[in-house]
Structure 1
Amino acid sequence: MNETGRRAAHLAAVWFVGGVLTAVQLQVVLIALFVDAATLRGGLLILAALLGLGALAGVASAARTIVPLAHRPSGRWIWTVSVHVSGTAGASVAAVVNFEIDHLENALPLYAVGGSCYALAAALFLPGTRIKLGSLGAAAVLVGGGAYAYLDAARPPTLDEHLAANGVDRGVLRVGDPPPGYTLRALGAGEDTFGAEYVRPDSVRLHLGVERAGHDPRRTDARGCPVPFGDPIHCVDDGEGRQLLTYEGGYERQELRLLRDGLVHTVTVEGHHADLPAARHVLSTLRPATEAELTGLLDLRQITPRSGASGHGTGSARPSSPS
């Protein structure tokens, strides 16, 4: 094998060992985070460092004919410690970036990048100006790419990105004009549901829920009123296509419901005979929500998975009923 091939094999060996060390050290750190005893936590970290130094020491011994510094035992330890410290520092930064991007759900790219950090540190000890400059250039590219990925992942999502990530159909994003004295705030949106609230000082909040017709799993009668299961539910015609539902029992509330364009719009108010005129005003002024009215969806600062997008955690169309 010529000199170039031997150097490539040496760096490949360091890359492989570095990738394994990145995986092992990551697991040790995660375990240490859940260990209460400081002594045991420190022991785990020291053990991981010793394993890493031992593995790299073996690589240094095999590379003593390639790396000038590794000709002597003291030089091999200098090489081992230097590569271990530099590679571990780079792999740690890569772990932070990976956590910001996907919370370590896919760690294979992290192991590959971690191995590259060790390999680049080892390349600086090879003879030749070009290989040193190439290593520094590759390190700069790696740092730049990592910084860009971190900043891009840390950037708050735009409204379109948030809706796309949750599979939200903009057709369900409907609101009514706020009644006098009320302010509107979007609460959450899923694939088939949307929730918002209307708030006024010293007054009960109004909750607006929008969902696809048929999304409600409760049984209904011929009029479309929910069938009581436990506490009584009184359902009457409220005019203009609305239904007024009064729930009794442990959680007393009233709902005004309106079916329009395949969507069920429900305004919930706590207690009996609350601000029903305000609720009727909301349902009488229904329209698509504006971009400004949907900015509240971004306050959560977290994109929820599609599997949970239609649940109560993303702003369900109605509160859970004890009945």
Structure 2
Amino acid sequence: MTRRNDTVPVAVHLVAVWLAGCALSAVQSQAVLVGLFAGSLPWAAGLLAVVAALAVALLALLGRVANVAPSARRAGPAAGREGLAQDAPGARVRAGVPLTAGRAGLWAWAAGVWALGTLGAAAVVVGYRVDHLETALPVHLAGGACYAVAAALFVPGARVRLGALGTAAALAAGGGWAALDATRPPTLDEWIAANGVDRAMLRLGDPPPGWTVQVLGASEDGFGADYERAGSPRLHLGVARAGQDHRRADAAGCPVPLGDPVVCTDDGGGRLLVAWGGDRPYRELRLDAGGLVHTVTLDGPGADLAAARRILSLLRPATDAELAGLTELPMRR
């Protein structure tokens, strides 16, 4: 068992494993991503094997250091190999991890910690991919904790091992709850709040007769929907805040062309018709109102301009039923 005066060395050992585990979580997750995009299975397998070998070697180094407790260092050369684990015959083990006293045990410990820690860290990374966190730092900190818990399972003493098992159970329960919660369909209000969407931008125009509308998506920067009718080019409505378009424009709001010709026409009712030339000409019908810019894009010469005008003339807040499809899109948590 571990004596009370060995608590600090054991704690230092586990903190060192945690820090190393944070680095291993980051490096190995990146190695997996590189391997997935490598396009060559042998190359990817070789890369992962090299990274795993280096990870086990790093843990073996930590295990070797952990075995040399302060009391063992004081035992002196005369104690020989046994001095690393005990002060005198019959004395209790003072080293943090007695298993690492021998070479075979050291590598077995390193491999065991790597296998258990990597299994836990992989589960954390998968949960991170599901939850769409903005930064990976908390993920790698939690991944490092998995390695520390795995190392604690090899530390002598029932209290330490029970604590490690309890921590592992808590991490597993928390991860399971997070994964279950991530699979639960969010409500519309939850989705809008989580993605930072301004409800004021969620505006649609009543579809003209024979047309259907489909909401495509929403974000902090804008909102978009498509209007479709059999036999007609689709119309796309985009809503954004005024001033968000940083392209140069003249006093009338017409974009200054950088290459292809641009022709702007006052369409009445506060609308501006912008015709873009070039190899793939298209038109935009714009309406600035209430601090928002509503733009209907007309693809191709056969697009229905009258329908676009009707959409902009009947703008209103989108209903929850029309926005229901947003909850099927990715959501930040």
> TM-score, normalization: structure 2?
0.71
Distance verdict in 2 for CA 1:252–1:9, change over 3 Å:
same
2:223 aligned residue: 194
Q: 1:118 aligns with which of 128, 150, 167?
A: 150
- The superposition leaves residues 66-125 of structure 1 with CA deviations (integer Å, 9 ceiling, x where unpaired) of 4796497489456555445434433443343345443762155235413432343124x4
* Residue correspondences, number: 298
Cα separation, 1, equivalents of 2:239 and 2:97: 71
- The answer to whether the Cα contact below 8 Å between 2:276 and 2:283 also exists between their aligned partners in 1 is yes
Q: 1:180 aligns with which of 195, 209, 213?
A: 209
2:171 paired with 1:142: yes
Q: 2:66 aligns with which of 59, 62, 65?
A: 59
1:93 aligned residue: 123
- The superposition leaves residues 243-302 of structure 1 with CA deviations (integer Å, 9 ceiling, x where unpaired) of 444444433233333333333322222233632232222122211011222234444425
- The answer to whether the Cα contact below 8 Å between 2:216 and 2:225 also exists between their aligned partners in 1 is yes
- The answer to whether the Cα contact below 8 Å between 2:97 and 2:154 also exists between their aligned partners in 1 is no
- The answer to whether the Cα contact below 8 Å between 2:203 and 2:317 also exists between their aligned partners in 1 is yes
- The answer to whether the Cα contact below 8 Å between 2:124 and 2:142 also exists between their aligned partners in 1 is yes
Structure 1 unaligned runs (5+)? 305-323
Cα separation, 1, equivalents of 2:111 and 2:165: 19
Q: Please state how far the C-alpha of 1:15 moved relative to its aligned partner.
A: 3.8
Cα separation, 2, equivalents of 1:73 and 1:227: 76
Cα separation, 1, equivalents of 2:278 and 2:200: 34
Range that drifts further, 167-176 or 224-233: 224-233
- Equivalent AA in structure 2 for residue 284 of structure 1: S
- Equivalent AA in structure 1 for residue 207 of structure 2: P
2:72 aligned residue: none
Q: 1:203 aligns with which of 229, 232, 244?
A: 232
Structure 2 unaligned runs (5+)? 70-83, 86-92
Q: Please state how far the C-alpha of 1:152 moved relative to its aligned partner.
A: 3.6
2:199 aligned residue: 170
Distance verdict in 2 for CA 1:90–1:195, change over 3 Å:
closer
Distance verdict in 2 for CA 1:41–1:272, change over 3 Å:
closer
User: 4+ runs of 1 displaced by more than 6 Å?
Assistant: none
Percent identity, aligned pairs only, is: 40
Q: Please state how far the C-alpha of 1:54 moved relative to its aligned partner.
A: 4.0
> TM-score, normalization: structure 1?
0.73
Q: Please state how far the C-alpha of 1:138 moved relative to its aligned partner.
A: 2.7
- Equivalent AA in structure 2 for residue 174 of structure 1: R
Q: Please state how far the C-alpha of 1:174 moved relative to its aligned partner.
A: 0.9
Superposition map of 1:125-274 within 5 A: 125-126=156-157, 128=158, 130-153=159-182, 155=184, 158-216=187-245, 217-222=247-252, 224-226=253-255, 230-238=260-268, 240-272=269-301, 274=303
How large is the RMSD of aligned CA atoms in angstroms?
A: 3.7
Distance verdict in 2 for CA 1:115–1:79, change over 3 Å:
closer
- The answer to whether the Cα contact below 8 Å between 2:202 and 2:318 also exists between their aligned partners in 1 is yes
Cα separation, 2, equivalents of 1:214 and 1:26: 39
Distance verdict in 2 for CA 1:298–1:218, change over 3 Å:
farther
Distance verdict in 2 for CA 1:4–1:155, change over 3 Å:
farther
Cα separation, 1, equivalents of 2:21 and 2:99: 21
SS in structure 1 opposite 2:323? Answer: helix
- The superposition leaves residues 48-74 of structure 1 with CA deviations (integer Å, 9 ceiling, x where unpaired) of 223323432442464831479649748
2:129 paired with 1:105: no
